[in-house]
Amino acid sequence: MTSQVVKLEVSACIPVECEFWSEDDGWKGLSSTLSLTVRGSSFEDVKKNMATELQAHIEEILRAHPKKSARRIA
């Protein structure tokens, strides 16, 4: 029996603690762990913006260090 390789993208949720607060002109969010700050017009907007920025930041880190991020689990 021959095995076949299937390639597909898998998304993993990584919880990152963030702080959100309202300001006069909208909302602001901060991830002090990754030094990210975002703005939004509402709480939902700033939370969505934070998720987008976290995703992009983590992908950038993984692209910059491909050897360290590749792990094989048996």
pLDDT of residue 11: 81
pLDDT in tens, the chain (74 residues): 788 999 998 888 889 999 999 999 999 999 999 999 999 999 999 999 999 999 999 889 888 887 654 555 55
Look up residue 14 and give its amino acid.
I
Look up residue 31 and give its amino acid.
S
Q: What is the pTM of this model?
A: 0.76
pLDDT of residue 12: 82
Measured CA to CA in angstroms, residue 32 lies from 18, 29, 58 at distances of 7, 10, 14
pLDDT of residue 2: 83
Closest CA to 55 of 20, 11, 9, 21: 11
Residue with tokens 């709480």: 43
